[in-house]
Amino acid sequence: MAHDYEVITSDTVYQGRVVDLRRDIVAMPGGTTSQRDVVLHPGAVGVVALRGDEVLLVNQYRHPVGRRLDELPAGLLDVPGEPGLEAAKRELVEEAGLTASSWHVLVDVLTSPGMTDESIRIFLARDVHEVERSVQEHEELEMTSHWVPLASAVGGALDGTLENAACVVGVLAAAEAVRRDFVGLRPADAPWRARPTH
């Protein structure tokens, strides 16, 4: 019979602008307890936008690693009650000035389940076209976007050129979806088991 990892005590030790830090004391097998530090994250969405055999990448500065990264258009689930699909549509407009006629769930990813509840849902957007967007701010002021062949992006995921986790997962999943001629993709409103609820 599997052990029940009961939380004995739990308290929030830090509240930040985006994430909180919770300290749990958890019952371990063998009658012991252990402290588990959990980063509480609101969750996020990313978008693999395909145009023919090309994928859209954005490039922006990421402060924790101190440099610019090629990534997918993406963003936090920071609008209360907003469905994941609506967040993805919003981010694609805000970061790339694009919208799409066809949307599917590509993959759901727990980014680092050993220390955070962060879950990212990556959508596949096809039949894209340009739209007007509002004025960008902060890092988005210097954000650029560019289309690259999906095969080149896959190569970048494998040779270390692409390092952002959601981008690597999204690009590889998109290549497999293309190989399968998009058969078997989940609908854009499919249940999201791991979406954080706090």
Catalytic residues: 140
Residue type, 114: G
Residue 137 near residue 104 (C-beta atoms within 8 A): no
Please give the structure tokens belonging to residue 2. Answer: 């599997």
Q: Give 136's contacts (C-beta < 8 A, 6+ positions apart).
A: 94, 143
Q: 173 and 107 in contact (C-beta within 8 Å)?
A: yes
User: Is-contact 8 23, C-beta < 8 A?
Assistant: no
